[in-house]
């Protein structure tokens, strides 16, 4: 574009300001409709009860620890992965309702829309994590290794969540249709459960175990267990991603960002339709 482009600093400032306005928009939506957050939390809450007290009574934790201590890092990871669905749904809704067209026809900073959406998701993610931590403490979960490792674990969740929200932005832009996006939400469940979040992977058949071991959900769960000092420690032959879970989470995050940020920006900027 040979647009009479304003200076870069000016554009960056507007990208930031417009991004903040869009973050404010999400908070406004949340204020008017807190039900959305409640709905998003009901699922992990049900999981706490269902796995923590129903199935959990029959599940043997590898090093003999408490199952609910074992479970909570998995649920934190699950909540972290809900970023994909949340960002996808928001983006697809805007695209199908014409809100995206209005943004595009306005003299606002173009990049502000995807950055605003992912930034808003980060705040919502923090809120959800805080509520989950409360639920965890309530059922007897706690971190054992002190402040720094605990903070590191949550930082990992936040980094991965941010990367995952870009996946959601891209998928939402690609489907452009809120009903199609809603139809994809159930995929979330098998994807997150095919991991070490609820049970150790060594009992799974070989091919399934391979998938579960390399699932980023597993890496995040393993990293959190390690940093929190929760049971589920590694024994015997462990797959590489689970032996180096922190590195794996960081590599996954970097890879997702490198792939999906440019893809999303291109999809948002393209005007071919």
Partner 1 sequence: MADPVVFAEGLHKSFGDTHALRGLDLSVPRGTVCGVLGPNGAGKTTAVRILATLSDPDAGHARIAGYDVVREAGQVRARIGLAGQYAAVDEKLTGRGNLRMFGRLSHLSRREAHRRADELLERFGLMDAADRQVTGYSGGMRRRLDLITSLILRPEVLFLDEPTTGLDPRSRGEIWDSVRELVADGTTVLLTTQYLDEADQLADDIAVVDHGQVIATGTPDELKATIGDRLDVILEDPAALRPAATVLKALAGTDPTMTGADRLGVALPGGGFRLADIVRELDRAGVAAADVRLRRPTLDEVFLRLTDRKELV
Binding site for partner 1 (CB under 8 A): 1-5, 14, 17-18, 21-22, 24-25, 28-29, 32-33, 97-99, 101-108, 112, 271-273
> Radius of gyration (Cα) for the chain, nearest Å?
20
Nearest partner of 154 among 127, 181, 172, 178, judged by Cα: 127
Do residues 163 and 264 touch, judged by C-beta distance below 8 A? no
Environment class of residue 19 by beta-carbon count within 10 Å: exposed (0-12), middle (13-18) or buried (19+)?
Answer: buried
Instruction: Tell me whether residue 105 or residue 237 sits nearer to partner 1 (CB atom).
Output: 105
Instruction: Tell me whether residue 144 or residue 266 sits nearer to partner 1 (CB atom).
Output: 266
CB of 176 to partner 1, least distance (A): 13
CB of 196 to partner 1, least distance (A): 37
Instruction: Tell me whether residue 18 or residue 213 sits nearer to partner 1 (CB atom).
Output: 18
CB of 233 to partner 1, least distance (A): 44
Which residues have CB under 8 Å from 33's CB, separation 6+? Answer: none
Instruction: Tell me whether residue 108 or residue 124 sits nearer to partner 1 (CB atom).
Output: 108
Instruction: Tell me whether residue 42 or residue 106 sits nearer to partner 1 (CB atom).
Output: 106
CB of 273 to partner 1, least distance (A): 5
CB of 40 to partner 1, least distance (A): 14
> Taking the CA of residue 144 as centre, how many other CA atoms within 13 Å lie in the half-sphere pointing to its CB?
11
Which residues have CB under 8 Å from 224's CB, separation 6+? Answer: 73, 76, 77, 153, 156, 157, 230
Residue 13: C-alpha distances to residues 2, 16, 18, 86, 113 (Å): 20, 5, 8, 27, 14
CB of 27 to partner 1, least distance (A): 11
Instruction: Tell me whether residue 97 or residue 266 sits nearer to partner 1 (CB atom).
Output: 97
């Amino acid at each position: 574009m040979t647009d009479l482009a304003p200076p870069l600093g000016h554009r960056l400032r507007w990208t930031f300001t417009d991004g903040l306005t869009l973050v404010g928009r999400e908070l406004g939506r949340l204020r008017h409709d807190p039900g959305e957050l409640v709905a998003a939390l009901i699922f992990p809450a049900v999981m706490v009860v269902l796995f923590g007290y129903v199935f959990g009574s029959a599940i043997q934790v590898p090093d003999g620890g408490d199952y609910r201590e074992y479970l909570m890092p998995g649920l934190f990871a699950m909540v972290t992965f809900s970023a994909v669905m949340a960002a996808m749904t928001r983006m697809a809704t805007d695209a199908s309702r014409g809100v995206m067209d209005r943004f595009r026809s306005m003299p606002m900073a173009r990049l502000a829309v995807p950055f605003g959406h992912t930034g808003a998701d980060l705040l919502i993610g923090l809120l959800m994590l805080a509520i989950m931590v409360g639920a965890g403490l309530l059922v007897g979960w706690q971190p054992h290794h002190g402040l720094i490792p605990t903070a590191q674990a949550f930082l990992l969740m936040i980094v991965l969540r941010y990367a995952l929200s870009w996946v959601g932005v891209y998928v939402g832009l690609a489907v452009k249709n809120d009903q199609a996006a809603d139809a994809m939400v159930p995929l979330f469940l098998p994807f997150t459960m095919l991991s070490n979040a609820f049970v150790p992977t060594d009992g799974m058949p070989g091919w399934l175990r391979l998938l579960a071991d390399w699932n980023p959900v597993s890496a995040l769960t393993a990293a959190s267990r390690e940093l929190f000092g929760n049971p589920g420690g590694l024994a015997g032959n462990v797959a590489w991603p689970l032996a180096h879970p922190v590195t794996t989470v960081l590599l996954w995050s970097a890879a997702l960002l490198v792939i999906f940020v440019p893809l999303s920006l291109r999809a948002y900027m393209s005007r071919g339709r």
